[in-house]
Amino acid sequence: MRRALVTGASSGIGEATAKLLASEGYSVALLARRREPLDAVLEVLASSTRSSSPAAECAGSPEASHYVVTCDMTDSASIAAAAKSLAENFGTIDLVVCNAGVGYRAKIEELDDDLLDRVFATNALGPMRLARELLPTLRKSDRPVWINVSSVVGRRGIPGQAAYSATKAALGSFGEALRLEWASEGKSGIAVCTLNPALTATGFFEAQPNPGDLPKPDMAGAAGPMDVASEILALDRQPEPERSLRWKWWLLGALTPIFPRLSDRMLAKKLGGGWKAPR
């Protein structure tokens, strides 16, 4: 049985991933800030796997099929405490799905310092701190895999989401560095993957700050959270360095360092909404 940790497991992609992994026989540790929604997800997992073992925030048993741990990904001490709880009560981790993230839809002039710090702490610094704390337990796994759930905007920043795009670019760069750092770690190396979803039909856009009331994206054709979860499962089974889930966004990202003006024009046309490419 593989043992997985899913961050941001209380909703959206994280919740879907936890449910899919549990249905495939994984033992799953659920991590997020708030306990109540995690317990609701745990209840579904427990019923689907016929598990009667209770899970607790900082107590539990290694024999339990699934486990809940609350953690504030903006707080280094909270991350360290969560890692300690996992080591003591959940055991060796084979797969980490680093999915927790928050959005911020705002022009540069609208940015609030506290919100900006929170977005960077959650999306970029949190995964780095979590990797540091979980490395000892990952070294014990026979086939450890770490998956960063980034975004297509990490490879091609978009207007109105400069801060969010920058955090995802940082996450992508972090994954590139970690692939080499961890290639010789543990029994046979720790595989590090970066997954770049595009628009996904979750409550993400409704929950993010939008001080200037910028228009929300057209969700027609958006992937479902279970579509992304399926890609995560596939990456655990056969890791690869990076995967983007929309080829047009992959193309924009590939073009940007070589033909930035062309990429700008293509993006402005794709987004609409009055955005213009520079001359």
**CA–CA separation, 160 and 199 (whole Å):** 15
Q: Which helix (H) or strand (E) holds 196?
A: strand 191-196
Residues 161 and 116 grouped into a single domain? yes
The whole-angstrom distance between residue 146's C-alpha and the CA centroid of its chain comes to 11
Confidence of residue 215 (pLDDT cuts 50, 70, 90): confident
Mean pLDDT of the chain: 91
Residues 63 and 192 grouped into a single domain? yes
Residues 108 and 170 grouped into a single domain? yes
Contact by Cβ (8 Å): 93, 3:
yes
Contact by Cβ (8 Å): 198, 246:
yes
The per-residue pLDDT for range 21-78, each reduced to its tens digit, is 999 999 999 999 999 999 999 999 988 765 434 443 333 333 358 999 999 999 999 9
Catalytic residues: 164
Contact by Cβ (8 Å): 104, 209:
yes
Tally of CB atoms within 10 A around 147: 26
Residues 262 and 139 grouped into a single domain? no
**CA–CA separation, 155 and 99 (whole Å):** 17
pLDDT at 270: 87
Out of 57-61, 129-133, 211-215, 249-253, pick the least confident. Answer: 57-61
CA 82-166-203 angle, 5° bins:
65
Mean pLDDT across 2-14: 96
Residues 227 and 254 grouped into a single domain? no
Residue 182: phi, psi to the nearest 5? -100, 5
The CATH number that applies at residue 169 is 3.40.50.720
**CA–CA separation, 230 and 36 (whole Å):** 25
Residues 264 and 221 grouped into a single domain? no
Domain that holds residue 277: 248-279
The per-residue pLDDT for range 152-176, each reduced to its tens digit, is 999 999 999 999 999 999 999 999 9
Residues 210 and 140 grouped into a single domain? yes
Residues 153 and 262 grouped into a single domain? no
Closest CA to 86 of 130, 43, 127, 46: 130
Contact by Cβ (8 Å): 1, 25:
yes
**CA–CA separation, 29 and 95 (whole Å):** 10
Residues 194 and 256 grouped into a single domain? no
Residues 47 and 169 grouped into a single domain? yes
Residues 195 and 275 grouped into a single domain? no
The label of the residue with tokens 């056969």 reads: 238
Question: What three-state secondary structure class fits 26?
Answer: coil
Surface-to-core class of residue 1, CB atoms within 10 Å of its CB (0-12 exposed, 13-18 middle, 19+ buried): exposed
More confidently predicted of 4 and 269: 4
Surface-to-core class of residue 258, CB atoms within 10 Å of its CB (0-12 exposed, 13-18 middle, 19+ buried): exposed
* Number of domains forming the structure of the chain: 2
The per-residue pLDDT for range 93-148, each reduced to its tens digit, is 999 999 999 999 999 999 999 999 999 999 999 999 999 999 999 999 999 999 99
Residues 276 and 164 grouped into a single domain? no
Q: What is the DSSP letter of 109?
A: G
pLDDT at 50: 53
CA 117-192-205 angle, 5° bins:
40
